[in-house]
């Protein structure tokens, strides 16, 4: 009797397993036969690389500069402090600048060349070791600006900081994927911060400060640089998706492994569908470049469906593509915040310089930013997060942006544990 029961149980188990296998096979067979989505037009997302003469391209000159770079890793923390103008050490700054004399000469020579265009990227996971060198050279340049300002060479110090702003924008425009835009934005912001700090103590004439306000007009949000970086990133993403769909995965050791991989993922991965989602995402960010962050139509973005069950994802027929998209979307969306932060930093720097001039003339700050119109600005500068006039609190000696939370917190800076904060810029004069 016991053997009979075991036999019945085993038969039931086998029958259930067979039914499950048949259902799974039917689902995968249906997915594999599902009609592929029609090809779509993504010509507007293709970056056309300009033809730049070698002698006009700063890239090779910057490579030469990196070969001359002196940045001892043992002193990295101390040197970063010098770059940030904290824990200043005259002897260490003098030593660093002396040993980077050739590097800085080459950097200045690169700044005179009209273009900065990197070699065309080849793969999605390509490394760009020169980016770390660009960041290190920018820190040396920042130390130079600090040293000159401390040595009462104020005009040279402001020129050096403005050179950082220019180089940062060149890096954003260098024809690379998003990482180039982000590194460029960090360099550009560091130059703006140096100008803001020096503006508080400068004794430069009004005409020099007004000239800086005018020059900074050319460094408003770099829409073209961000758009081109998005295009390059999109093209590299598409190349990866196509390679993945064909089984051209670097971890596969043989042609048979690649073939089996390609056949095996067809029911659960559709490269064209995934590219279409990426294209929708890129276009929303690209088209939002000309709008304040708060006016970008985020509802037009393809949404992440993280609550969907695994079975529903499988039935949809593009589970791998969905996962890849969901990994990418948050980082892409954050670029709009980065763009608005950059614009806010440029605007705040211009405002601080204009307020400095006003204070020099009247020995007091204005009651309203409208008093800077029309001499300094055609209208009160706008906050790129909500498109409204920049906030000003003369009593607190503060100008500020409402920041990415789009809530006016009275100029409160980010604090641990709080998600509501503004981007304040103190008026320290």
Clarify whether residues 109 and 29 are in a common domain: no
CA–CA gap between residue 172 and residue 380 (Å, rounded): 27
Contact partners, residue 329, CB within 8 Å, separation at least 6: 281, 301, 302, 304
Query: Is the alpha carbon torsion for 298, 341, 343, 44 positive or negative?
Result: negative
Please say if the pLDDT value at position 323 is more than 50.
yes
Q: Dig out the tokens for 19 from the structure.
A: 């039914």
pTM: 0.85
Clarify whether residues 219 and 294 are in a common domain: yes
Give the percent of the chain with pLDDT over 90. Answer: 66
Helix (H) or strand (E) holding 398: strand 398-401
Q: Say if residue 85 is preceded by a cis peptide, omega within 30 of 0.
A: no
Q: Is the residue at 166 inside a domain?
A: yes
Q: What is the pLDDT of residue 266?
A: 56
Query: Do 237 and 4 form a contact (C-beta atoms < 8 A)?
Result: no
pLDDT tens, residue by residue, 410-423: 999 988 777 789 99
Clarify whether residues 333 and 206 are in a common domain: yes
Q: Is the residue at 106 inside a domain?
A: yes
pLDDT tens, residue by residue, 226-256: 999 999 999 998 988 888 777 776 544 555 4
Helix (H) or strand (E) holding 401: strand 398-401
Clarify whether residues 11 and 53 are in a common domain: no
Q: Dig out the tokens for 185 from the structure.
A: 């934005």
Q: Is the residue at 416 inside a domain?
A: no
Q: Is the residue at 421 inside a domain?
A: no
Clarify whether residues 95 and 27 are in a common domain: no
Q: What is the pLDDT of residue 29?
A: 52
- pLDDT confidence bin for 315, thresholds 50/70/90: low
Clarify whether residues 25 and 156 are in a common domain: no
Helix (H) or strand (E) holding 167: helix 154-172
Clarify whether residues 295 and 372 are in a common domain: yes
For residues 189-209, give the mean pLDDT.
Answer: 96
Q: Is the residue at 355 inside a domain?
A: yes
Clarify whether residues 2 and 61 are in a common domain: no
Query: Do 293 and 384 form a contact (C-beta atoms < 8 A)?
Result: yes
Query: Do 344 and 423 form a contact (C-beta atoms < 8 A)?
Result: yes
pLDDT tens, residue by residue, 145-197: 999 999 999 999 999 999 999 999 999 999 999 999 999 999 999 999 999 99
Please say if the pLDDT value at position 144 is more than 70.
yes
CA–CA gap between residue 70 and residue 201 (Å, rounded): 30
Clarify whether residues 11 and 68 are in a common domain: no
Clarify whether residues 195 and 289 are in a common domain: yes
Q: Is the residue at 405 inside a domain?
A: no
For residues 262-290, give the mean pLDDT.
Answer: 80
Q: Is the residue at 114 inside a domain?
A: yes
Please say if the pLDDT value at position 261 is more than 50.
no
Residue ending a domain, choose from 351, 366, 386:
386
Q: What is the pLDDT of residue 125?
A: 80
Q: Which of 168, 192, 181 is nearest to 226 (CA)?
A: 181
Clarify whether residues 271 and 223 are in a common domain: yes
57 φ, ψ to 5°? -95, 120
Q: Dig out the tokens for 397 from the structure.
A: 């000696």
Clarify whether residues 109 and 212 are in a common domain: yes
Q: Which of 166, 302, 274, 265 is nearest to 225 (CA)?
A: 166
How far is the first Cα of the chain from the last one, in angstroms, to the nearest whole number?
Answer: 97
CB burial of residue 238 (10 Å; 0-12, 13-18, 19+): buried
Q: What range defines the domain where residue 21 resides?
A: 1-33
Q: Is the residue at 13 inside a domain?
A: yes
- Give the mean pLDDT of the chain: 86
Q: What is the pLDDT of residue 218?
A: 92
227 φ, ψ to 5°? -60, -45
Structurally, the chain folds into a number of domains equal to: 2
């Amino acid at each position: 009797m016991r053997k009979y029961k075991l036999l019945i149980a085993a038969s039931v188990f086998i029958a259930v397993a067979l039914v499950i296998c048949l259902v799974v096979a039917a689902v995968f067979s249906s997915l594999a036969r599902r009609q592929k989505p029609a090809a779509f037009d993504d010509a507007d997302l293709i970056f056309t690389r300009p033809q730049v003469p070698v002698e006009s391209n700063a890239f090779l000159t910057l490579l030469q500069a990196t070969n001359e770079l002196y940045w001892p890793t043992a002193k990295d923390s101390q040197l970063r402090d010098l770059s940030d103008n904290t824990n200043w050490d005259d002897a260490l700054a003098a030593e660093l600048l002396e040993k980077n004399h050739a590097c800085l000469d080459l950097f200045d020579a690169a700044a005179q060349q009209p273009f900065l265009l990197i070699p065309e990227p080849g793969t999605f996971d390509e490394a760009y070791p020169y980016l770390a060198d660009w960041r290190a050279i920018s820190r040396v340049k920042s130390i130079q600006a600090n040293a000159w300002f401390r040595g009462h060479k104020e005009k040279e110090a402001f020129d050096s900081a403005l050179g950082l702003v220019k180089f940062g924008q060149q890096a954003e425009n260098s024809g690379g994927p998003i990482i180039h835009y982000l590194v460029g934005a960090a360099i550009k912001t560091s130059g703006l911060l140096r100008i803001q700090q020096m503006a508080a103590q400068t004794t430069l004439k009004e005409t020099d400060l007004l000239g800086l306000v005018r020059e900074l007009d050319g460094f408003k949000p770099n829409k073209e640089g961000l758009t081109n970086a998005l295009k390059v990133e999109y093209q590299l993403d598409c190349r990866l998706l196509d390679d993945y769909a064909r089984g051209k995965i670097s971890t596969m050791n043989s042609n048979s492994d690649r073939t089996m991989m390609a056949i095996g993922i067809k029911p659960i991965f559709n490269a064209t569908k995934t590219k279409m989602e990426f294209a929708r995402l890129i276009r929303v960010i690209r088209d939002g470049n000309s709008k304040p962050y708060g006016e970008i139509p985020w509802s037009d973005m393809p949404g992440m469906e993280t609550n969907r069950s695994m079975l529903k994802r499988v039935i949809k027929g593009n589970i791998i593509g969905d996962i890849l998209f969901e990994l990418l979307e948050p980082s892409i969306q954050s670029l709009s915040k980065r763009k608005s932060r950059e614009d806010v930093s440029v605007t705040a720097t211009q405002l601080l310089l204009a307020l400095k001039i006003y204070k020099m003339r009247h020995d007091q700050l204005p009651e309203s930013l409208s008093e800077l119109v029309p001499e300094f600005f055609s209208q009160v500068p706008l906050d790129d997060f909500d498109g409204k006039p920049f906030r000003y609190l003369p009593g607190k000696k503060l100008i500020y942006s409402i920041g990415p939370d789009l809530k006016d917190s009275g100029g409160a800076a980010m604090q641990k544990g709080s998600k509501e904060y503004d981007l304040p810029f103190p008026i320290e004069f």
